[in-house]
């Protein structure tokens, strides 16, 4: 079990029933392999809400509002349109670089994997984009390490809400609405 997932389990208990996914089908649909730590996070926790603020997207999520696959498609289109008016973050300037969403917040910020040519999915890092703005942050950690590090106070984002994380952590698995 990855160290970051062990840290998350110490922060908030996992639901009793793991979530099973057909990752081959998910990855074929997305056209890209996903990081192993994310797959393990989804297996253990599923898509969910952390501290009432951050939503981890899940492929095939019972709450369709947080399904990774439509989010990835929509965000790719929206960002291509956005780049016509805003400057791309420097991390996305190398040819073939792009982002894939893996989480969002109540405020509308989006958390992405930074995908670069030549990097394996387990080497992807995290980018955070502010809601309704052009500020981006880059963190040289995996998505699960980012989440664990935010929750335990090791890492701080200037974009995410100052009320995240809460002092007493809470995880709620997303279900059907």
Q: Could you read off the pLDDT of 101-156 as tens digits, one per residue?
A: 999 999 999 999 999 999 999 999 999 999 988 899 999 999 999 999 999 999 99
CB 54 within 8 A of CB 101: no
Q: Give the dihedral sign, CA 58/127/52/171.
A: positive
CB 12 within 8 A of CB 170: yes
Query: What residue segments make up the domains of the chain, in order of their start?
Result: 3-173
Per-residue pLDDT tens over the stretch 62-97: 999 999 999 999 988 888 888 888 888 999 999 999
Confidence of residue 166 (pLDDT cuts 50, 70, 90): very high
- CA separation for the pair 51, 73 (Å, rounded): 27
Here the tokens at position 24 are 């081959």
Return the CATH fold of 3-173. Answer: SMI1/KNR4-like (3.40.1580)
């Amino acid at each position: 079990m990855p160290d970051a997932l062990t840290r998350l389990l110490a922060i908030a208990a996992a639901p009793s029933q793991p979530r099973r996914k057909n990752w081959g089908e998910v990855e074929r649909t997305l056209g890209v392999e996903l990081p192993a730590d994310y797959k393990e996070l989804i297996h253990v926790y599923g898509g969910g809400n952390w501290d009432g603020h951050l939503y981890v997207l899940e492929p095939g999520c019972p709450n369709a509002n947080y399904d990774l696959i439509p989010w990835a498609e929509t965000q790719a289109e929206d960002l291509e349109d956005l780049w016509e008016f805003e400057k791309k973050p420097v991390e996305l300037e190398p040819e073939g670089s792009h982002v894939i969403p893996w989480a969002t917040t109540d405020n509308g910020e989006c958390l992405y994997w930074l995908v670069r040519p030549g990097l394996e999915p387990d080497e992807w890092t995290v980018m955070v984009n502010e809601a309704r703005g052009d500020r981006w942050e880059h963190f040289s950690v995996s998505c699960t390490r980012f989440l664990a590090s935010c929750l335990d106070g090791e890492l701080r984002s200037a974009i995410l809400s100052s009320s995240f994380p809460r002092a007493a952590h809470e995880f709620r698995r997303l279900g059907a609405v």
